[in-house]
Amino acid sequence: MIDHDILIVGGGLTGLRAAVGLCDRFNVGLISKVYPVRSHSICAQGGINAALTNNPDARDDSWEKHTFDTIKGSDFLADQDAVEIMCKEAIKIVYEMEHWGCPFSRFPDGTIAQRPFGGAAYPRTCYSSDITGHVLLNTLYERAVAKGVKIYPEWFVTSLCVEDGQCHGVVALDMHSGELVPVRAGVTFFGTGGYGRVYQHSTNSLTSTGSGIGMAYKAGVPLKDMEFVQFHPTTLIGTNILMTEACRGEGGYLVNNQGERFMKRYAPTAKELAPRDIVSRCIQTEINEGRGFDHPLGRYIQLDLRHLGEKKIQERLTGIRKICIDFIGIDPVDEPIPIMPCQHYSMGGIDVNERCASEVRGFYAGGECACVSVHGANRLGGNSLLETIVFGKLAAQAISEDMEGGIPKPDEKPLLKLKDEVEKKILRLTAPGREKPYQLQADLGVVMDQKVGIFRTREQLKQAVDKLPELKERYRHVGVSSPSRHMNYELINALELEYMLEVAHTIALGAMLREESRGSHFRTDFNTRNDRDWLKHTIARMGDDGGPAMSYKDVVITRYQPVERKY
Ligand SMILES: Cc1cc2nc3c(=O)[nH]c(=O)nc-3n(C[C@H](O)[C@H](O)[C@H](O)COP(=O)(O)OP(=O)(O)OC[C@H]3O[C@@H](n4cnc5c(N)ncnc54)[C@H](O)[C@@H]3O)c2cc1C
């Protein structure tokens, strides 16, 4: 048994920022199934939003305007008090990261550079070329190491231990030794990232499985707004590697097979810089109506950067150019990039408040695995990196406050019991079985892509909801090829798959029940927003029959009454 005052699961931006905020006062342990700098945060390209007013076109910007853009972008589903906190804090945390050594790109006057991004009235996205996640994550990792945070890299958390409304810690698998270890903690904080890999096509790392979300749900913690799944408009055809929104922020065009910049028709003012939900639907509509290009890998739209010129492309979109050359043999300086929309981000997640506290004592969550909610029905680009660092910091503050009366000493009995259950689960998964985890995961991905996609209908959603219990039944017969516990990724995959199926079930059912269109959730059979009946958060709990039991919760409105979104 390992003991910590506070256990953080996740070595991405959220987990590291929380650890840095807590390690001076508490005995903190941080578990991550990959080395922290391999977390999905490392892939973030385009930037992080804060109303710094450095861009000459953004002198009138303010955190209040950032707040309004975020709420409008969320299609009024975000909790407005939480958005205010995030946008106000944004300015402080970007300067804090700068002072901690993060190498942002600069304007000629030496201030942090800012570029335009979708759904934002001003250019307020701070960046470092197109590797913003890379520089932020390395800065926080170095700080965590320098401060002596105890890190357990390549440890996989298999289960969250909750009993009588209290969290006692986790059971984790040391992937090197293969040992199953109960980890007892007064507070457990999850920064376990999104669930993109529940879909067949996703921009997310293979590690973004949402296992943390599913684990919390199975332990009895409710999830919020799971039906809201972000589809990014521009991902490279075939591999679905992200072509950052900064391509359009820097002036890139979207063009159909008529040579038309079609976004002018859909969003006359914002055009390519309309929010992602809208641009993704427009691209998909162009493709569906026969104005896409043909490719052996599917139909696509062109992302044209040629008019930006080689110098700007090389300087601001270095990584994008290299990815295009390496993966598809196209240099965007000379040729348009073939793109299609696909799954990108999880707006929903573990239900927490603006202090990142869940309803379970001693259990907190932040970042992409959590739903505070600051993104509501649609996240604006550049607001997620912001969320991770802001709420990593604020969670640390909230946890410190909550520990003022003393650190709880949780019970070891429920942990030992849970460890036995996990041991049995592993024995079952390592016995011969007729189902292979990768095949089942692939089948799940197809269901989610085809039935719970950009455009949704009751009929398709019902098919997904009916299919999920069938996939869960097949899961009972999963067996991995080798019983070895040493770095057995197939075993890890099989353990995660149980949670992925639960996560998928909450997404599909939430989407089927929500009979309106809002943000990323678009129902062709209910194609308008319905504030009278649906201005509310969906809450999913694990029901007695094993499926999700849904209820609803009010949205916090402070100053901004819902209006129609126009761009
Ligand atoms: C390609 C791409 C580009 C993006 N670009 C931008 C951008 O420019 N701007 C922006 O604002 N947002 C961007 N985003 C979104 C943003 O990067 C993510 O939402 C954010 O980085 C998530 O951070 P996180 O700390 O919540 O989780 P992650 O960085 O995903 O980290 C999750 C951590 O949890 C650990 N973990 C998970 N499950 C377990 C388990 N069971 N046991 C042990 N450890 C576990 C993992 O090891 C990892 O360390 C982008 C996302 C992608 C995919």
What does the pLDDT look like over 118-134, one tens digit per residue?
999 999 999 999 999 99
Q: Which of 31, 171, 192 to mutate to test the pocket of ligand 1 (most atoms within 8 A of CB)?
A: 192
Hey, which CATH number is domain 414-554, 1.20.58.100, 3.40.50.740, 1.10.10.10, 1.20.120.530?
1.20.58.100
pLDDT band per the 50, 70, 90 thresholds, residue 408: confident
Cα separation, 241 vs 223, whole angstroms: 28
- Token pair recorded at residue 83: 């958005």
Percent of the chain residues past pLDDT 90, beyond the cut: 98
Catalytically active residues are 276
Quick check: 144 and 151 in contact, CB under 8 A? yes
Of the candidates 149, 201, 202, 217, the one whose C-alpha atom is nearest the C-alpha of residue 10 is 149
At 501, the amino acid letter reads: L
pLDDT band per the 50, 70, 90 thresholds, residue 547: very high
| pLDDT in the model for residue 284 | 97
Cα separation, 83 vs 69, whole angstroms: 10
Is 156 a residue whose pLDDT tops 90? yes
CA 355 to centroid of ligand 1, rounded, Å: 20
- Encode pLDDT of 510-532 as tens digits: 999 999 999 999 999 999 999 99
Q: Is the CB of 211 under 6 A from ligand 1?
A: yes
Only one residue has tokens 């209290």, namely 166
Sequence-separated (6 or more) residues with CB below 8 Å from residue 231? 276, 277, 280, 341, 342, 343, 344, 453, 454, 520
Q: Is the CB of 46 under 6 A from ligand 1?
A: yes
Hey, which CATH number is domain 233-342, 3.40.50.970, 3.40.640.10, 3.40.50.10440, 3.90.700.10?
3.90.700.10
CA distances from 229 to 15, 318, 349, 446, 507 (A): 22, 28, 10, 15, 8
Q: Is the CB of 203 under 6 A from ligand 1?
A: yes
| pLDDT in the model for residue 137 | 98
Residue nearest to atom 9 of ligand 1 (CA): 382
User: Which three-class secondary structure state does DSSP give residue 7?
Assistant: strand
Q: Which of 117, 385, 492 to mutate to test the pocket of ligand 1 (most atoms within 8 A of CB)?
A: 385
Cα separation, 190 vs 10, whole angstroms: 6
Is 409 a residue whose pLDDT tops 90? no
Cα separation, 39 vs 367, whole angstroms: 13
Cα separation, 486 vs 497, whole angstroms: 19
- Token pair recorded at residue 550: 């849904």
φ/ψ of residue 514, rounded to 5: -80, 100
Q: Is the CB of 192 under 6 A from ligand 1?
A: yes
Cα separation, 83 vs 225, whole angstroms: 16
What residues does each domain of the chain span? 233-342, 414-554
Does 233-342 match 414-554 in CATH topology?
no
Q: Is the CB of 246 under 6 A from ligand 1?
A: no
Cα separation, 545 vs 547, whole angstroms: 6
pLDDT band per the 50, 70, 90 thresholds, residue 339: very high
Instruction: Over range 21-25, report the average pLDDT.
Output: 97
User: Which three-class secondary structure state does DSSP give residue 535?
Assistant: coil
H-helix segments, 289-367: 309-316, 318-328
Strands 301-304 and 337-346, how do they pair? antiparallel
Q: Which of 35, 384, 502, 503 to mutate to test the pocket of ligand 1 (most atoms within 8 A of CB)?
A: 384
Quick check: 292 and 286 in contact, CB under 8 A? yes
